A and B are shown apart, each in its own frame.
Chain A
Amino acid sequence: DAKTTQPNSMESNEEEPVHLPCNHSTISGTDYIHWYRQLPSQGPEYVIHGLTSNVNNRMASLAIAEDRKSSTLILHRATLRDAAVYYCILSTNAGKSTFGDGTTLTVKP
């Protein structure tokens, strides 16, 4: 299965932008990049996904490198409620996806 690499932890100040990086150098041409986040004591929740172009939704933006070997999840103004573990995963055409250990985001007031 294609793997992703993320930093173990990151910190941000409240109301500042946060850029969460993800490396996926073995991505194949049909793999989609998905981001999920997991708040304490909850199941993961979907954040955003993309294939080649940058994507925006109400929660975040996803910037995908031109060679697709890396991507960045952008939270435009971090709030305390954004403190969570963020997972970057690759979803294959065959319906497979593998979670890594994610990045724990701490938001300081």
Chain B
Amino acid sequence: EAGVAQSPRYKIIEKRQSVAFWCNPISGHATLYWYQQILGQGPKLLIQFQNNGVVDDSQLPKDRFSAERLKGVDSTLKIQPAKLEDSAVYLCASSLVTTGGTYEQYFGPGTRLTVT
């Protein structure tokens, strides 16, 4: 079974530039998550999709971050414009179901973003 795919793996941009990350979840997984992980901290949930609907985006900085999940499969996360504090690893995860609390999240390798 193929895992969660993310691209690019690394990205370096200057502040005020735009950047986009792509995620392809495990086939059949209805739920997709985007996390931000700053060095030395645990992952912080930015947005959670159930199929192509948003379940939770309470911690997404909506003035600069946006995300979409077209057709309930692939997803893109965009930052426009980037700030220095956006330097982090952006992790995508997927799970089969989210009801009942027993769901296991499968994580991709992440995209390391450096904003200079």
Contact surface of A with B, Cβ cutoff 8 Å: 30-32, 34, 36, 42-46, 49, 51, 85, 87, 91-102
Contact = CB atoms under 8 A, between A and B. Distances in A.
B98 to A, nearest CB: 3
Given A49-B104, A95-B50, A43 B42 contact: no
A87 B93 contact: no
Interface string B83-110: 0000000010100001111111111111
Contact of B43 (A30, A44, A91, A96): A44
Contacts of B45: 97-99
A76 B59 CA distance: 37
B28 to A, nearest CB: 17
Contacts of A32: 100-102
Nearest to B108: A43
Interface string B46-57: 001010000110
B101 A92 contact: yes
Given A87-B42, A98-B45, A99-B43, A43 B99 contact: no
B42 A101 contact: yes
B44 interface: yes
